[in-house]
Amino acid sequence: MTLATAHDLGAVTELATATNEHLANISNTLIYSAMAVYTLAFLAFIAEWLFGSRSKVARTASALTATGGQADTTAPEVTVQKAGGTAVLERPKVVTRSSAGSRDVPDGPGAHGGDEQGDLYGRIAVSLTVLAWAVEAAGVVARALSVRRAPWGNMYEFNLTFSTVAVGVFLALLALRKNVRWLGLPLVTSVLLDLGLAVTVLYTASDQLVPALHSYWLYIHVSTAILCGAVFYVGAVGTLLYLFKDSYENKLVNGGTPGRFATSVMERLPASASLDKFSYRVNAAVFPLWTFTIIAGAIWAGDAWGRYWGWDPKETWAFITWVAYACYLHARATAGWKGRKAAYIALAAFGCWLFNYYGVNIFVSGKHSYAGV
């Protein structure tokens, strides 16, 4: 190799390094910008709940108390006065429980409470969420370009991609005209916490992967794991809200009188049966993909380490998570285990997934610890 050639190679390497650092800085800027826009979306979602009419959210309560626990299944449309006329926002859906002695409860009007002003704030919040999601996705792409690989090599990159996919799932459900805007506030809140943790505690400078990770299975295994986690998260939020709403409805049926704050919040959400069905459907839909994720990881382990399964902590907890969600799906089909009992299993299963990600990566040593935080 001549001196000129070595000099040219050095110049190219130096240019590539400078370019990668520039892209990494762009990625960091975009992530911080996304956090700023998510904060605005968070405030808009808060405004949707605060400025939505509180006078129109007692439909379910009055229906239950007026009919002795059986709601009127001919709930009217939600209407608002607009310039001397009437504008229709949406018709509350009616959900019927099929079991004997069940109660029929109409879904609430949504976070806006059937109020036009609240609905406007909600639409602004969704628009800001779309903008923040686009900026964050651009930050993830810039990070990938800076390291010239998939941006899933450490917990910092995983956090960025996970929150991006979680918001993407929420926006996809909205695009499919699903009544899930009530997810907006808890989702954006948790995304802000996730990004805050990523940039303050988990941040890792751009770097290359260890040789074991240089495989196309990185794109297959890790991408499906991220998608599964995002969908499991959405299902967990629905399950948690179901437990609160079910307790609220039971209190009404038994003649109790919830407080004003509980009424204002609970009566805007879908009925407990709707929340339960929503959570079950998203968890059941993604469970086969989680099964594939574990199988793909085993195949990758066989290529990288010469064995398909070694009960590494990450492998063990991935399997425990699989068993927990399998128990949940089985409980849903078992008499006496539907409803709240199954919901507790679902939350425990999501807790296993969280520990598999955070707990195992931070507190437990194993073959999956090579990437660091």
pLDDT tens digits for range 218-244: 888 889 999 999 999 999 999 999 999
**So what's the pLDDT on residue 246?**
93
Residue of 355, 354, 349, 351 whose CA lies nearest to 331: 349
**pLDDT of the residue at 127:** 96
So what's the pLDDT on residue 101? 41
Spatial CB neighbours of 373, under 8 Å, sequence gap ≥ 6: 154, 155, 156, 201, 202, 204, 361, 362
* 245: helix, strand or coil: helix
Could you tell me which residues are beta bridge partners of residue 221?
Answer: none
For the full predicted model, state whether its pTM sits above 0.85: no
Q: Are 105 and 153 in contact (CB under 8 A)?
A: no
Q: What is the pLDDT, as a whole number, of residue 45?
A: 94
* pLDDT of amino acid 170: 95
Q: Is residue 59 within 8 Å of residue 106, measured between CB atoms?
A: yes
Q: What is the per-residue pLDDT across 249-258, written as a single tens digit (0 to 9) for each?
A: 998 888 888 8
Would you state the pLDDT for residue 245? 93
Model confidence pLDDT, tens digit, residues 11-60: 555 655 667 788 888 999 999 999 999 999 999 999 999 887 654 544 44
CA–chain centroid gap for 148, Å, is 27
What sign does the dihedral 139-142-143-144 (CA atoms) show? positive
| Spans in the chain with pLDDT lower than 50 | 3-4, 6, 55, 57-101, 370-371
Sign of the CA dihedral with 299 first, then 300, 304, and 310 last = negative
Phi, psi at 289, each rounded to 5°: -70, -35
Q: What is the pLDDT of residue 171?
A: 95
